[in-house]
Amino acid sequence: MPAITRRHALIGAAVLAASPAFGATQPATRIRFTLDWKLQGQHAIFFLAREKGYFRDEGLDVIIDQGEGSAATITRVMSGAYDAGFGDINSVVEQAAKKPGEAPVMVYQFYNRPPYIIVVNKSSPIVKLKDFEGRTVGAPAGSAAARLIPVLAKRNGVDPAKISITNMQLSLQEQMLVQGQIDAMSTYNTTAYINLMMQGKDPDKDFRWFNFGDYGLDLYSNGVMVSQKFLKENPAAVGGLVRAVNRAVKDAAENIDAALAIIMKIEPLLNLAAERKRADYCFREVFISSETVANGFGDVDDKRLSRGIDIVVEAFELPRTPRVEEIFNHSFLPPKSDRMVSYKAS
Partner 1 sequence: MKENISRTMSSAALIVGFFLIWEVLCIAFGISDVILPKPSQIFLVMWERWPALLPHAVQTLYTTMVGFAWGVVLGVAIGVLIGSFRLAYDTAYPLLIGFNSIPKVAVVPIFVLWFGSGTVPAILTSITISMFPIVVNVATGLATTEPELEDVLKALKATKFDILWNVGLPRTAPYFFASLKVAITLSFVGTVISETVASNRGIGNMMMTASSSFNVPLVFSGLFILAGMGIALHMLFSFIERRLTHWAHRKSEFATV
Cα separation, 288 vs 296, whole angstroms: 10
Say whether residue 61 binds partner 1 (CB under 8 A): no
Interface region with partner 1, contact rule CB under 8 A, candidates 68-76, 108-116, 122-130, 221-229: 68-76
Say whether residue 19 binds partner 1 (CB under 8 A): no
Report the residue number, 72 or 256, with the smaller CB distance to partner 1: 72
Say whether residue 187 binds partner 1 (CB under 8 A): no
Cα separation, 152 vs 344, whole angstroms: 33
Report the residue number, 130 or 265, with the smaller CB distance to partner 1: 265
Cα separation, 204 vs 198, whole angstroms: 13
Say whether residue 262 binds partner 1 (CB under 8 A): no
Say whether residue 189 binds partner 1 (CB under 8 A): no
- How many residues line the site for partner 1 (CB under 8 A)? 27
Binding residue for partner 1, selected from 36, 58, 68, 88, defined by CB under 8 A: 68
Cα separation, 145 vs 104, whole angstroms: 19
Residues 6+ positions from 306 with CB-CB distance below 8 Å? 324
Q: Using only the alpha carbons of the chain, give its radius of gyration.
A: 22
Say whether residue 65 binds partner 1 (CB under 8 A): yes
Say whether residue 43 binds partner 1 (CB under 8 A): no
Cα separation, 264 vs 275, whole angstroms: 10
Could you say which residues in the range 145-174 bind partner 1, by CB under 8 A? Answer: 170-172
Taking the complex as a whole, the smallest distance from the CB of residue 164 to partner 1 amounts, in Å, to 23
Binding residue for partner 1, selected from 76, 243, 276, 339, defined by CB under 8 A: 76
- CA-CA-CA-CA dihedral for 38, 281, 284, 244, to nearest 10: 30
Say whether residue 21 binds partner 1 (CB under 8 A): no
Characterize the bridge pairing of strands 136-139 and 105-109.
unpaired
CA distances from 120 to 146, 178, 207, 227, 326 (A): 14, 9, 6, 37, 36
Read off φ and ψ for residue 159, nearest 5 degrees.
-80, 110
Interface region with partner 1, contact rule CB under 8 A, candidates 5-13, 66-74, 158-166, 223-231: 66-74
Interface region with partner 1, contact rule CB under 8 A, candidates 67-75, 93-101, 233-241, 243-251: 67-75
Q: List residues binding partner 1 (CB under 8 A).
A: 32, 34, 38-39, 64-68, 75-76, 79, 81-82, 170-172, 175, 195, 198-199, 267-271, 274
